Structure 1
Amino acid sequence: MEIKIGIGLDCLVFGMSQKEVEDILGKPDKTSETEKDKGIVYYFYDKLIKTKFDKEEDLKLYSIEVHNPDVKMFKKKLINKTKGEIESLLLNNGYKKIEYEDYDTFDIIFCEEIWTTFEFELNRLKNIEFSPLFKDSKNIIWPNRIYHNHSIPKEGLNEEG
């Protein structure tokens, strides 16, 4: 299970419809509507994945949250790594815009360059939430849909989707 920055997760590509996601992952175990942005969330219990669809973006797949211990980024498994290990991994891969937030029961590292949030509990990574990249604060760079089953190079991104 490999996170592809700005693209998606394995065969899941940002911009897919709910039906396309269901064709890949099957029917969700649970669905809900988010209050904040009025999006739709699919929960896949056996895969330890949540997918979010944004109503403002015609219910396209907009965000993926992974709790699965097999998930990889930069060819490394991440779940249960420490904050220091994740910070080093980001820095070693050229990502330097790292923000830290401490809450009562968990901590977050956010990397804007890859639009990814790493959530920690007791200094161990519990989940990763990521979405497409942004050209600016309002314009999403949707991945080119031809990359569904391919390893996608960074230059393979386009702004049309």
Structure 2
Amino acid sequence: MEIKPKNGIGDLLFGMKQSNVEALLGKADKQFKDEDKNVICLYNQHKLRLTFYEDEDFRLGYIVISHPKAVLFGKEVIGRAAKEIESELPEKQFKDWEIAEEDGIESTFNEDNWLMLISEFGEIAKVEVGAIIVNDEFEWRFKA
């Protein structure tokens, strides 16, 4: 699946409702609510975790992918070094990166595009993308 910062992943667009996602991927393998009452759906085959925000009428607002064939700007990302990916991304669009490390896990985050590369043992293990917020409002890409 192609990771599309600011938009979603593959055909999944930020702002979709769970029914829209199910029309594309079917029922989730597992579903639960987090401490904020957001709905989390896990799709094992696609190695996807989708978060539907309770306070945004359960729209898709956050995606985590760890599928080995996940692609960002035409290149696979899982298993590669975060620095390598950073250097391949459009410099004007991905200028500033914040790096944090805790317990051997490194997070490389670009806030402008809400893209996070999570690495362990020097390799990206998962990628997180979130919907963009402008003036305290989400910019939903899916128009119902």
Normalising by structure 2, we get a TM-score of 0.92
1:25 aligned residue: 25
Q: Distance in 1 between matches of 2:83 and 2:111?
A: 18
Q: Which residue of 1 aligns with 2:47?
A: 48
- The percentage of counterpart residues that share the same residue type is 30
Q: Out of 129, 137, 140, which is 1:139 matched to?
A: 137
Can you give the 5+ residue segments of structure 1 that lack an aligned partner in the other structure? 146-160
* Structure 2 gap segments, 5+ residues each: none
Q: Residue type of the partner of 2:122? A: N
Q: 1:4-58 CA distances to partner (integer Å, 9 max, x unpaired)? A: 22111111111111111111111111111111x3211000011111110000100
Give the aligned length. Answer: 144
Give the 5 Å matches for 1:1-161.
1-35=1-35, 37-90=36-89, 92=91, 94-136=93-135, 138-145=136-143
Task: For residue 104 of structure 2, give the secondary structure of its aligned residue in structure 1.
Answer: coil
Larger strand fraction of residues: 2
Larger helix proportion of the pair: 1
Describe the SS at the equivalent of 2:119: strand
Give the Å deviation of 1:77.
Answer: 0.7
RMSD: 1.5
TM-score of the two chains, using structure 1 as the length reference: 0.83
Output the CA distance in 1 between the equivalents of 2:62 and 2:101.
22
SS in structure 2 opposite 1:38?
A: coil
Tell me the amino acid that sits aligned with residue 5 of structure 1. P
Aligned residue type for 2:46: K
CA distance in 2, matches of 1:123, 1:109: 12
After superposing on structure 2, the runs of 4+ consecutive aligned residues of structure 1 that deviate more than 2 Å are 89-94
Q: Could you say what secondary structure the match of 1:110 adopts?
A: strand
